[in-house]
Amino acid sequence: MALKHKTPMLDELEKGPWPSFVTDMKRMAARKATCEDWLGLMEMSYEDKEGHWKHGGIVGVFGYGGGVIGRYCDRPELFPNVAHFHTIRVNQPASKFYSTEILRKLCDMWEEKGSGVTNMHGSTGDIILLGTTTDQLEPVFYDLTHEFGMDLGGSGSNLRTPACCVGKARCEWSCIDTQDITYDLTQEYQDALHRPMFPYKFKFKTSGCPCDCVAAIARADCSIIGTWRDKIRIDQEAVRAYAGGELVPHGGAGGSEKRAVDVQAEIVDLCPTRCMEWDGKTLKIWDEDCVRCMHCIRVMPRALRPGTDTGATILVGAKAPILEGAQLSSVVIPFMKMEAPYEEFKEFVEKMWDWWMENGKNRERLGELIQRLGLQEFLKNCELTPDPRMVNTPRYNPYIFYDPAEVPGGWEHDIAAYRSRHQA
Partner 1 sequence: MAQIEYKGKNFEIDEDGFISSFDQWCPEWVDYVKSSEGISELTEEHWKVIHVLQDYYKKHGIAPMVRILTKVTGYKLKYIYELFPSGPGKGACKMAGLPKPTGCV
The CB-of-362 to partner 1 minimum distance in angstroms stands at: 5
Provide the 10 A C-beta neighbour count for residue 165. 27
Give the phi and the psi of residue 61 in degrees, each rounded to 5: -120, 155
- Which of 33, 135, 147, 168 is CA-nearest to residue 90? 147
Rounded Cα gap, residues 14 and 36, in angstroms: 16
Question: For partner 1, which is the closer residue by CB, 64 or 242?
Answer: 64
CB of 223 to partner 1, least distance (A): 20
**Cβ-based nearer residue to partner 1, 197 or 375:** 197
> How many CA within 13 A on the CB side of residue 194?
15
Burial of 242 (0-12, 13-18, 19+ CB in 10 A): buried
Nearest-CA neighbor of 118 among 34, 230, 17, 47?
34
What is the b/e burial string over 349-365, where b = at least 16 CB atoms within 10 angstroms of the residue's CB? beebbebbeeebeeebb
β-pair partners for 206: 164, 224
Choose between 162 and 208: whose C-beta lies nearer to partner 1: 162
d(CA 330, CA 314): 8
Minimum distance of partner 1 from residue 71's CB (angstroms):
10
* Of 8 and 56, CB closest to partner 1: 56
Closest approach of partner 1 to the CB of residue 412, in Å: 34
Under 8 Å CB-to-CB from 295, ≥6 apart: which residues?
267, 270, 271, 272
What is the DSSP pairing of strand 204-207 with strand 163-164?
parallel
At 130, the amino acid letter reads: L
CB of 316 to partner 1, least distance (A): 19
Residue placing its CB nearer to partner 1 in the complex, 204 or 228 = 204
Task: Provide, rounded to whole angstroms, the least separation between the CB of residue 60 and partner 1.
Answer: 6
Burial class (CB in 10 A: 0-12, 13-18, 19+), 121: middle
Amino acid at 412: E
Least distance to partner 1, CB of residue 191, Å: 8
Residue 195 Cβ, how far from partner 1 at the closest point, in Å? 6
CB of 84 to partner 1, least distance (A): 8
Work out how close the CB of 363 gets to partner 1 at its nearest, in angstroms, rounded to a whole number: 7
- Please identify, using beta-carbon distances, which residue of 55 and 421 lies nearer to partner 1: 55
Q: Would you say 6 or 361 has its CB closer to partner 1?
A: 361
3-state helix, strand, coil in the chain (%, to 5): 35, 15, 50
Residue 219 · residue 202 · CB < 8 Å: no
Closest to partner 1 by CB, 63 vs 408, is: 63
CB 199 within 8 A of CB 364: yes
Q: Which is nearer to partner 1, 103 or 357 (CB)?
A: 357
Cα–Cα distance for residue pair 152/140, rounded to 1 Å: 10
Interacting residue ranges for partner 1, rule: CB under 8 A: 54-66, 69-70, 72, 84, 155-157, 191, 195-199, 201, 357-358, 362-363
| Contact yes or no for 216/206 (Cβ under 8 A) | yes
Of 114 and 199, CB closest to partner 1:
199
